[in-house]
A and B are shown apart, each in its own frame.
Chain A
Amino acid sequence: MVVGAVSADRRIEDLLRDLAPRVLGTLVRRHGQFDACEDAVQEALLAAAVRWPAEGVPDRPRAWLLTVAVRSLVDGWRGESARRRREASAVALDPAGRQPAHAEAAEHDDTLVLLFLCCHPALSPPSQLALTLRAVGGLTTAQVASAFLVPEAAMAKRVTRAKQRIRSAGARFELPPQPAWSERLGVVLHVLYLVFNEGYTASSGPELNRADLTAEAVRLTRLLHRLLPGEGEVAGLLALMLLTDARRAARTDADGSIVPLADQRRELWDTAAIAEGQALLTRTLGRGPVGPYQLQAAVAAVHDEALTAEETDWPQILALYDVLTQVAPGPLVTLSRAVALAMAHGPRAGLALLGTLDSDQRTANTHRVDAVRAHLLERAGDRAAAREYYLRAARKTASLPEQRYLALRAACLGQPSSPTDAAD
């Protein structure tokens, strides 16, 4: 049956993705050379993806992958000249050397080490994302390329270049030491957050495959949370993803247009994801220092708790943004706080706060300030000004669905005001 075959393939893919970082970790620890090992694992994954569905999953899938990867690695070494080989070993990543007593624990540690390595600060965010998805996520170059809508050859180059950079930065295959730990964990979380956003902001239609990025970000953050259960911000990020992704089905309508939070059909929200996010947040808040991801997750939870948009507890959201302003101030926090302020105390209060962003160079070229101002002006009843700011925002946005949404809002305000609008 086709359905059976599809789910069997799906199971194989899940297994491969789960094994990928563990096989890679073992290989790098044995042979050094993250660069070559990563290519070898990619080869082994491709071979398994072709052979396992036809021949069945081997009894020891991890050992199978390891064997094929080692063979590919050795073939690669044989293919190189002796001079190249000497060069490569001179700059090879130094395996930490210490053989951990407990093999199982070592396996887990390696996934974490890999994640830190792929999110190395020497790399640009697009490279960090690509390498993380390939080396830790176990995605093929073709899958990563299609998710980011770039040609496969370009993505292959990006990955190769990223690995060269890691090597020339002198990175070691070990966890960062304590002073740098928090900062490096921050980068890892940011990369996972970007992967999530990349998938979440995509719409339906031809870009449907990008939604898989959201699931992948959740999967990797879940993995990180399992490895670091005591890190509040890891739990916070996972909760934020779950509580945000829970609204996915309601976020766009049939033709892929954006549906704003207030207009969403809340019965489409994923209650299981909301419950999981809330439970995670409840366990985390108050246990340690509160960070931006926990606070954003708390805001998402307040939204998710409201059965209707009118029931939203805006004073509580405003209070959360007040704390966020203390913990991690920035123009986007001010923007969100302006919305909460408007909802709690009226649009004019929100507009006044927005005014403080006018001279901020960091938001000068984004459409967000204009879009929020347009919304608040519309709520304040100033249709002409609202229309002007919707059009401004539509011109500035780089997102096609957002552009459509903003242009439509402007067009609606260009119409003669209807009795229902006046009553609003």
Chain B
Amino acid sequence: MKYMIMMFAGLGAATETRTPEWIAGMHELLMKLDGELREAGELVASERLLDPSLATTVRFRDGAPLPTDGPFAEVKESLAGYWLAEVSEERALEIASQVVAYTEYPMEVRRVMDMSSEL
């Protein structure tokens, strides 16, 4: 099963008031988890997104698509990055928990839909 483990931009905003040691510790943890997922062959993809303040949202306005600056949701709720991993739900939750234990900032774990029918 594939799960997407998601981080939100609020985490980035939260780091702005932290000490250099705290930030370094967070990167170390993320690198460690990333390395584990890679080593185990569980990682399908992982990406980080640019800050949502640089996002453009395309909306339907007056009968036509209209691009406007800024994210759709609040910056805090905007996707900041994700791991896509071939793991059990238990393992996905364990990964997310390790990050949350350090950052105290929420993560979301979602199962990826499958093309084949359920067995």
Contacts and interface: CB of A to CB of B under 8 A. Distances in A.
Grouping DSSP codes into helix (H, G, I), strand (E, B) and loop, the B interface class, with mixed when no group exceeds half, is helix
B16 A404 contact: no
B15 A407 contact: yes
B17 interface: yes
Interface stretch (B48-56, B58-66, B99-107): B48-56
B54 A365 contact: yes
A205 B39 CA distance: 12
B17 A400 contact: no
A404 B12 CA distance: 11
A391 to B, nearest CB: 6
Interface string A186-216: 0000000000000000000110000000000
Contact of A404 (B18, B22, B27): B27
B38 interface: yes
A57 to B, nearest CB: 33
A255 B51 contact: no
Interface string A377-412: 000000000000001000111101000100110111
B23 A411 contact: yes
A62 B62 CA distance: 64
B116 interface: no
Nearest to A206: B38
A395 B23 contact: no
B117 interface: no
A201 B96 CA distance: 29
A329 interface: no
Interface in B3-50: 12, 15-20, 22-24, 27-28, 31, 34-35, 38, 48, 50
Contacts of A397: 50
A411 B50 contact: no
A400 B48 contact: yes
Contacts of A412: 20
Contact of A415 (B12, B19, B38): B19
Nearest to A404: B27
A230 interface: no
Contact of B16 (A365, A410, A415): A410
Contacts of A255: 27-28, 31
B17 A414 contact: yes
A420 B31 CA distance: 31
Contacts of B16: 391, 407, 410-411, 414
Indicate the member of A365, A407, A415 with the most B CB atoms within 10 Å. A407
Nearest to A415: B19
Nearest to A411: B20
A404 B18 CA distance: 13
25 contacts: A205-B31, A206-B35, A206-B38, A255-B28, A255-B31, A256-B31, A395-B12, A395-B53, A395-B54, A396-B54, A398-B50, A400-B48, A404-B23, A404-B27, A408-B20, A408-B23, A408-B24, A411-B18, A411-B20, A411-B22, A411-B23, A412-B20, A414-B16, A415-B19, A415-B20
For the complex of A and B, 8 pairs with smallest distance between CB atoms: A395-B51, A411-B20, A408-B20, A412-B20, A411-B23, A398-B50, A404-B27, A407-B23
Interface of A: 205-206, 255-256, 365, 391, 395-398, 400, 404, 407-408, 410-412, 414-415
